[in-house]
């Protein structure tokens, strides 16, 4: 595990605990599931063991089958969780946006790679130190449970997309996801529905479970249908949110109305 720039977090948020002010790392102000809005005492203890770690794009944050050494929160940038097949193919099983956390507790070796898709800043806790807080601060363990619950739900949702939707439909869903929780979603971008795909075409394809060629074609298709506007290869404007929503939900065939000619995969009355 490479230690690229491990630093004590500089206090960003000042929180009143009785009459003492204690500095908290920036992740405590994100609506992260792990450390947002914990009790003052728990926040303080967590801040004690927090370390900021920076990675450049393309680095390995955690290798497959390696013992998980720490819990991490994404402060900025995007991580990709991926699995690699014997023949070298890679599948991305999840993207970690700012505010999301990763890592396993109780010495479980995870079977997935975590790599930085962009330059990334993380707020990390060593696993043992983190677990040690569970007994005194059950709320932290509860947060962990909630975080994992979210991860399970997200996995199930994406599983559904992979199994029942076409590439274009999955892409529509992904774009809408990016609009909601993507990098810079809380900036002025979201007003005009400008999205910034934080990954290259290869990763894009690995996430959607398809190929770069199909990605290209789907983008062109959505552009021709006036659903999106192509700014450049990584930036788009969503100009028909309803249409995209509709597309991501079930394709072209509604339950009632708008007799589309498109087909959705293995529909059966």
CB of 184 to DNA, least distance (A): 18
CB of 267 to a copy of itself, least distance (A): 6
Tell me whether residue 10 or residue 268 sits nearer to DNA (CB atom). Answer: 268
**Cα(179)–Cα(197) distance, integer angstroms:** 10
Show the tokens assigned to 259.
Answer: 């007799």
Site membership for a copy of itself, residue 232 (CB under 8 A): no
CA distances from 245 to 120, 238, 254, 256, 263 (A): 30, 11, 12, 16, 16
Write down the residue that tokens 């006036």 correspond to. Answer: 226
Q: How many residues bind DNA (CB under 7 A)?
A: 28
Select from 75, 60, 77, 152 the least CA-distant residue to 112.
60
Site membership for a copy of itself, residue 205 (CB under 8 A): yes
User: What angle, rounded to 10 degrees, do the helices at 40-49 and 127-136 form?
Assistant: 160
For residue 146, the partner it binds in a copy of itself, DNA, none, with Cβ less than 5 to 8 A by kind, is a copy of itself
CB of 239 to a copy of itself, least distance (A): 24
Binding mask 172-211 for DNA (x = CB under 7 A): ----------------------------xxx------xxx
Among 90, 189, 190, 214, binds DNA (CB under 7 A): 214
For residue 258, the partner it binds in DNA, a copy of itself, none, with Cβ less than 5 to 8 A by kind, is none
Show the tokens assigned to 45.
Answer: 């203890």
Show the tokens assigned to 86.
Answer: 């014997």
| φ and ψ at residue 49, rounded to 5 degrees | -100, 5
CB 115 within 8 A of CB 80: yes
**Cα(193)–Cα(166) distance, integer angstroms:** 23
CB of 237 to a copy of itself, least distance (A): 27
What is the footprint of DNA within residues 140-169 (CB under 7 A)? 166-168
Site membership for a copy of itself, residue 129 (CB under 8 A): no
Three-state DSSP class for residue 28: helix
The stretch among 2-10, 73-81, 136-144, 216-224 that binds DNA (CB under 7 A) is: 216-224
CB of 61 to DNA, least distance (A): 19
Select from 21, 112, 134 the least CA-distant residue to 62.
112
CA distances from 266 to 163, 172, 217, 250 (A): 10, 19, 22, 11
Site membership for DNA, residue 32 (CB under 7 A): no
- Distance, C-alpha 1 to centroid of its chain: 22
CB of 267 to DNA, least distance (A): 4
Residues that bind DNA (CB under 7 A): 166-168, 200-202, 209-220, 230, 233-234, 262-268
Residues that bind a copy of itself (CB under 8 A): 81, 83, 85-89, 91, 93-94, 104-106, 108, 110-112, 134-135, 138, 141-142, 144-146, 148-149, 151-153, 155-160, 162-164, 205, 209-211, 249-250, 253, 255, 264, 266-269
């Amino acid at each position: 595990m490479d230690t690229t720039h491990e630093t004590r977090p500089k206090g960003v948020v000042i929180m009143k605990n009785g009459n003492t002010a204690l500095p908290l790392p920036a992740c405590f102000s994100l609506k992260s599931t792990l450390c947002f809005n914990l009790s003052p005492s728990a926040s303080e203890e967590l801040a004690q063991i927090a370390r900021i770690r920076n990675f450049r794009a393309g680095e390995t944050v955690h290798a497959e089958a390696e013992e998980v050494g720490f819990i991490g929160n994404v402060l900025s940038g995007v991580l990709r969780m991926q699995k690699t097949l014997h023949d070298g193919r890679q599948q991305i099983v999840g993207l970690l946006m700012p505010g999301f956390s990763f890592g396993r507790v109780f010495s479980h070796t995870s079977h997935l790679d975590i790599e930085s898709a962009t330059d990334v800043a993380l707020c990390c806790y060593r696993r043992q130190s983190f677990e040690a807080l569970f007994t005194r601060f059950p709320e932290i363990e509860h947060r962990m449970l909630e975080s994992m619950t979210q991860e399970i739900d997200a996995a199930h949702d994406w599983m559904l997309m992979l199994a029942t939707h076409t590439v274009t439909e999955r892409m529509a869903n992904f774009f809408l996801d990016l609009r909601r929780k993507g990098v810079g979603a809380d900036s002025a971008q979201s007003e005009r529905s400008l999205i910034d795909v934080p990954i290259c075409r290869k990763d894009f394809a690995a996430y959607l479970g398809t190929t770069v060629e199909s990605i290209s074609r789907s983008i062109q298709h959505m552009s021709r249908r006036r659903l999106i506007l192509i700014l450049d290869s990584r930036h788009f404007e969503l100009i028909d949110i309803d249409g995209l929503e509709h597309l991501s939900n079930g394709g072209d065939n509604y339950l009632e109305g708008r007799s589309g000619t498109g087909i959705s995969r293995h529909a059966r009355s």
